[in-house]
Amino acid sequence: MPKRRIRRLLIANRGEIAQRVRRTAREMGIRTIGVYTPVDAEMPHAQPDDSHDAIPISNYLNIKEILEAAKKAKADAIHPGYGFLSENPRFASAVERAGIAFVGPSATSMRKVGDKAKARATAQSLGIPVAEGLGPFSNPKEIAKAARGLGAPVMLKAVAGGGGKGMKRLLTLDNLEEIIETSQRETKAAFGDDALIVERYIFPARHVEVQVLGDGKRCIALGERECSLQRRHQKILEESPSVAVDAELRERLFDSARRLCEAVGYRNAGTVEFLVGPDGSFYFLEVNARLQVEHPVTEMCTGLDIVRMQLEVAMGAEVPPQETIQRRGHAIEARLNAEDPWRNFLPSAGRILVAEFPEGDGMRVDSGIGPSVSTQYDSLIAKLIAHGENREQARARLIEMLERTVVLGILTNGPYLLEVLRSDFFIQGETYTNTIDEFQPPERPITEAMKMRAACALRGYAPSPPMPWARDGRTALGEARVRLRGPDGPLWVTAPTSEICSSLNEVSFARERERVWVADRGRVAFFTVPEGVGDEGAQEARAPMTGKVVKIAVKPGQEVSEGDLLAVLEAMKMEYRLEAEMDGRVQEIGAKEGDLVDLGHVIVRLEPAD
């Protein structure tokens, strides 16, 4: 590849990865151009400065608009980040035809490895083990026939891309047609192509991937990462090295990854994914022909800047010799997502009131968080990466990072990640692709200090009467108690004195109208003053997330039974049913169909039936 100089780089992405690429480009003296949609206008990547321009577009998947933005900005290279168009060979080809450098593999090699069926065939031709599979198919009847031919358990996987989009694990073939329809719909929405392959599901197994870098001729392995802990095929914790990979297995994985990429003339960064069985056997899964979300894990262990290496290769550099890659210590990454693990991981959206991340030795935070979180895009708001001389030091350091992280205004999976990191299975390294599905965390962690801090903060909120708290008189100890409403319903707390309130400085909080957000050592919750105080038998069906009311299923005065549907909300293309928790009568309806409501908004209020 001829040498070329990149002076102006358009980043065709958003959020933390846009900021990550922008940081390295700036260090290299490369001016960057960001693109942003209307909903992202306040995000950091949309804010110009002395080394960064920003251009509005309508959609991150619109190839024509992105190329027009690149030409307008006189960009000589485009970095696709991950997701969106990063693995789309039509985009890579269009960029190349426009005379702009694509910071990623060529369209030709992307087609060879990005298409899962072709990648499987290439791996088989090289003698690399693959799981039994059939396809690709676009006809639902052919997909169903292939699944029945292999027999459960099987996996349905998108041919056109990765990231877990459209992927379905079938332990039985019940509701097969419905699952195929859902998988194809999700795949079409994510990649514009609904073709699937059907593959034998290996169980129990670990998900181990190899980070590679190629220059079109030679390919090197930078290290392996274990990414077995996944929820709905979305990784939540990644680490390197894998506790299940010894030196001999590591070299076999590295060799398979290198040979596969060299066979297709792979250029730039990529990841070769494998399933590793309990006996050390391994099976090729797929190639992610792009930079991975979890690339910082490898960077922390090698001291390399993979984005810098991507840009250098795009300018014609050769990859360094394999023997120059040195790895040290252990690194673990946690993905901080805007979601509520105690409500089936419902998306959480809203204004960010506080966002504080820790700094320290062996600590790294990659974030692109802005003043608000929308339900229109991926829920990832930050990545926390800890490095240590060994796994236990890295684990302890990541726990400290999560405890010191304060994000108020939305709910996150931070408390859930802490439960995982403290679990016996994680400490012992017993991490498999089904582990998270079987993990049941304890109830939402809310400390007494959090309740007290909320009560103190809400003392200033007094619409009418001045102290609108329900009281249950005196306890056996003579203490007055007041009622608050937390994320899971009403609760009681001892009425705090001014002395107690002044002693809670370690508990972070932020007021948002009648709601207060509280964080204590990685735990986070919100509290409000209950409405309808004193009406002890009432139920308030509240919005579990910011979203749109798509259905009101009841009318005022209507009698309902426990379990009856009251309303349906939608956010991030997911629907949530609000159901009656008691027999009663509809006292009030607080929203209408089509309304956009905030988290905690009362949709339906029930009163006890006579």
pLDDT tens, position by position, 17-65: 999 999 999 999 999 999 999 999 999 999 999 999 999 999 999 999 9
pLDDT score at 185: 86
Q: Answer yes or no: is pLDDT of 574 > 90.
A: no
The secondary element (H helix, E strand) that includes residue 578 is strand 574-579
Choices 3.40.50.300, 1.10.10.10, 3.65.10.10, 3.30.470.20: CATH for 206-438: 3.30.470.20
Say whether pLDDT at 462 is over 50: no
DSSP 529: P
| Residues 214-219, mean pLDDT to the nearest whole number | 97
* pLDDT beyond 50 at 461: no
User: 535 pLDDT band (50/70/90 cuts)?
Assistant: very low
Say yes or no: domain 8-103 is CATH 3.90.1010.10: no
Closest among 330, 325, 332, 322 to 301, alpha carbons compared: 330
Residue 241: cis peptide before it, omega within 30 degrees of 0: yes
Element (H, E) at 210: strand 206-215
**Could you tell me if 274 and 210 are in contact, meaning their C-beta atoms sit under 8 angstroms apart?**
yes
Distance of CA 292 to the CA centre of its chain: 12
Task: Give the separation between CA 33 and CA 119, rounded to whole angstroms.
Answer: 33
Pairing of strands 52-56, 31-36: parallel
Tokens of 176: 């097969």
Would you say 206 and 431 are in contact if contact means Cβ atoms under 8 Å apart? yes
Give, in words, the CATH class of 132-200: alpha beta
Highest mean pLDDT among 152-161, 228-237, 387-396: 387-396
Are the C-beta atoms of residues 85 and 94 closer than 8 Å to each other? no
Predicted pLDDT at 383: 98
- What is residue 530's predicted lDDT score, i.e. its pLDDT? 63
* Residue 470 pLDDT exceeds 80: no
Q: How sure is the predictor about 608, in pLDDT bands with cuts at 50, 70 and 90?
A: confident
Apex 390 CA angle, 384 and 393, nearest 5: 55
Residues forming beta bridges with residue 360, ordered by sequence position: none
When pLDDT is cut at 50, 70 and 90, the band that residue 468 belongs to is very low
- Measure the CA–CA gap between 65 and 54, rounded to whole angstroms: 13
Give the residue ranges of DSSP H helices in 241-333. Answer: 247-263, 295-302, 306-314
Residue 435's contacts (CB-CB under 8 Å, 6 or more residues apart) are: 228, 229, 425
- Residue 3, pLDDT > 90, answer no
- Going from N- to C-terminal start, the domains of the chain cover 8-103, 132-200, 206-438, 448-528, 539-608
Whether 471 has a pLDDT exceeding 50, the answer reads no
* Nearest-angstrom CA–CA distance, 58 and 71: 17
Q: What does the block give as tokens for 402?
A: 């999560």
The percent of residues in the chain predicted with pLDDT above 70, rounded, is 94
CA distance 419 to 229: 13
- Does residue 532 carry a pLDDT above 50? no
Q: What is the pLDDT of residue 162?
A: 66
Please name the amino acid found at residue 403: E
Architecture of domain 539-608: Beta Barrel (2.40)
Where is average pLDDT lowest: 153-167, 199-213, 300-314, 391-405? 153-167
What are the structure tokens assigned to 522, written together?
């990685």
